[in-house]
Structure 1
Amino acid sequence: MTYETSQTPAATAADGQAAGWNKVPEVTVYFWVIKVLCTTVGETAADLLDEKAGLGLTGVSVLMSALLAVVLAVQFRTAAYRAGVYWLAVALISVVGTLVSDNLTDNLGVPLAITTAVFTVWYRRERTLSIHHVDTVSRESYYWLAVLFTFALGTAAGDLVSERLDLGYPLSAVLFALAIAAVTLAHLKLGLDAVWSFWIAYVLTRPLGASVGDYLSQPTGDGGLGLGTVVTSALFLTVVLGLVVYLSVTRKDVTEAQRTA
């Protein structure tokens, strides 16, 4: 999906980064493929850690949040987009976003429908964030906050559809895939605003990936294929790693402005 914005790219030295140096990748097919794969990893890895780490949901959440903070600190210190650091941060945010949603619903008893509504309100406040000009500290901060909350929102929405509406994992995945296709069509043919199109699709890739991950990893008695969280996580992590290495070498997800900056 093409993403354009009317926001200005004015970056200043006070923000600590050079003008024209975008800190996020170009939105290509690689971007969407890795994003969906990372959401699948986030769902299965969160379940795996919750089951095997022996720390409980809260303990795992604190541990993964601390690890995410370290990676984001490295990301903020980079001068420009680096595929390895960026996608590691996305993968960790996928895990943390799942845990945030699970904590609100499991530990605090917040209904999934209310969780989804709360995240929707927060997200709507930041929907105009330009991903083409994430070239200042403040913009990058808003960007990663938006990514975190869209992951959590997508998790809550996916759980709401697959569990509370009892559609099952395969049907939920098909439903979200069709929703993404509808958004893409609305953008390309009906003129739906590019900012809205991007972030709506970004949110929807979360429950799509989570539904696929749950379908592969959950026991057959619960509607899954029974591959388990270890196998599913390892499989998708391997594919993500291969794609990130490929992009790091070829730089196919780097804009011309980033190449010359």
Structure 2
Amino acid sequence: MNPAKAGWLSKVPEVTLSFWVIKILSTTVGETGADFLAVDAGFGAGWTSIGMALLLACALFFQMRKAAYSPWIYWLTVVLVSIVGTQITDIMTDMLDISLYVSTAVFSVLLAINFLLWFRVEHTLSIREIDTPRREFFYWTTVLCTFALGTAAGDLATEALGLGFTLGVVIFGALIAATLLAWRLGGNVVLMFWLAYILTRPFGASLGDLLTQAKTYGGLGMGAAWTSAIFLSVIVLLVVVAQVSVGNRKTVIQ
């Protein structure tokens, strides 16, 4: 079988610098976008969660129907998962008054269970092999868990533990760098990928809070609307480039 055609069946993008840039931007948009819709736009956490969950369901429907990786629908789904994951944690914390320690522990257990089931059924956790509906189901449930966990862990570190937004960005950024170094030194590729994937969520959330929160609260005061608009614009630009690249690749293969 032609390797290019075999790779074309994958439902997720290759892990490149562009992948990580869009991933981090989408995590930040998840934080700032959720805040903008719930607070600035006045929809509230409940209606924002319902609306975003419905949009996510639609995006997942089209994503699952695709026979191969499509940048625009894939990254739209990631952004929506980011917002929904943020809202799940925010509802647990703000509306249900569940401690961030508890929510972080709960999402950690759920993520571990999901990984265990995924590996037990498919014998792999590699995103290079997301080429069946069942594997894709495990993939997206894992992604949702990582976003919810990352939100809870990020809030726990920056707010409950009092580290602050700037220090949160530095700490989580350093952990991501350490993961990259471990990979370069021969660490398990799949393990290092998922560690980095999980860590980019609290990093992005801390970055989002740093940019949007008022200066009196330790932020830069850019506001959720402007931050979301800027980051979304960059995401759209990078996704357009990816979409064109995929289209060119498909033409060459044919």
* Same fold? TM cut 0.5: yes
| SS state at 1:202 partner | helix
Structure 1 193/230 Cα, relative in aligned 2: closer, same or farther at 3 Å? Answer: same
Once the two structures are superposed, residues 221-260 of structure 1 have per-residue CA deviations (whole angstroms, 9 ceiling, x without a partner) of 11111111110000000000000001111239x8xx9x75
In the TM superposition, residue 177 of structure 1 has moved relative to its aligned partner by 0.6
Once the two structures are superposed, residues 135-189 of structure 1 have per-residue CA deviations (whole angstroms, 9 ceiling, x without a partner) of 1111111111100110000000000010011111111001001001111112221
Structure 1 residue runs without a partner (length 5+): 1-17
In the TM superposition, residue 109 of structure 1 has moved relative to its aligned partner by 1.7
* 1:149 pairs with 2:134: no
Output aligned runs, 1:1-261, within 5 Å.
21-127=9-115, 128-189=124-185, 191-251=186-246, 260=253
Question: How far apart, CA to CA, are the structure 2 residues paired with 1:125 and 1:118?
Answer: 11
Once the two structures are superposed, residues 80-105 of structure 1 have per-residue CA deviations (whole angstroms, 9 ceiling, x without a partner) of 00000000000011100000111111
Question: How far apart, CA to CA, are the structure 2 residues paired with 1:19 and 1:188?
Answer: 24
| SS state at 2:128 partner | coil
Question: How far apart, CA to CA, are the structure 2 residues paired with 1:251 and 1:28?
Answer: 14
TM-score normalized by the length of structure 1: 0.87
In the TM superposition, residue 123 of structure 1 has moved relative to its aligned partner by 1.3
Question: How far apart, CA to CA, are the structure 2 residues paired with 1:109 and 1:249?
Answer: 46
Letter in 1 for 2:172: F
Letter in 2 for 1:175: I
Question: How far apart, CA to CA, are the structure 2 residues paired with 1:53 and 1:66?
Answer: 18
Q: Alignment identity in percent?
A: 51
Question: How far apart, CA to CA, are the structure 1 residues paired with 2:208 and 2:41?
Answer: 20
Residues 32, 212 of structure 2: 8 Å contact kept: yes
Residues 169, 223 of structure 1: 8 Å contact kept: yes
Root mean square deviation, CA, Å:
2.1
In the TM superposition, residue 19 of structure 1 has moved relative to its aligned partner by 9.3
Structure 2 residue runs without a partner (length 5+): 1-5, 116-123
Once the two structures are superposed, residues 89-132 of structure 1 have per-residue CA deviations (whole angstroms, 9 ceiling, x without a partner) of 00011100000111111122211111111111121233352211
| SS state at 1:113 partner | helix
Once the two structures are superposed, residues 21-68 of structure 1 have per-residue CA deviations (whole angstroms, 9 ceiling, x without a partner) of 110000011100000000111100000011134332122111100010
Residues 48, 229 of structure 1: 8 Å contact kept: yes
Question: How far apart, CA to CA, are the structure 2 residues paired with 1:179 and 1:27?
Answer: 18
In the TM superposition, residue 20 of structure 1 has moved relative to its aligned partner by 6.4
Residues 20, 135 of structure 1: 8 Å contact kept: no
Residues 8, 69 of structure 2: 8 Å contact kept: no
Q: Could you list the runs of 4 or more consecutive aligned residues of structure 1 that deviate by over 3 angstroms after TM superposition? A: 52-55
TM-score normalized by the length of structure 2: 0.89
Question: How far apart, CA to CA, are the structure 2 residues paired with 1:192 and 1:115?
Answer: 29
Work out which structure has the larger RCO, using CA pairs closer than 8 Å and 6 or more positions apart in sequence. Answer: 1
Letter in 2 for 1:156: A
More helix by share: 2
Letter in 1 for 2:151: T
Residue-pair matches, total: 240
| SS state at 1:26 partner | coil
Question: How far apart, CA to CA, are the structure 2 residues paired with 1:59 and 1:50?
Answer: 8
Question: How far apart, CA to CA, are the structure 1 residues paired with 2:33 and 2:240?
Answer: 21
Residues 53, 60 of structure 1: 8 Å contact kept: no
In the TM superposition, residue 210 of structure 1 has moved relative to its aligned partner by 1.0
| SS state at 1:25 partner | coil
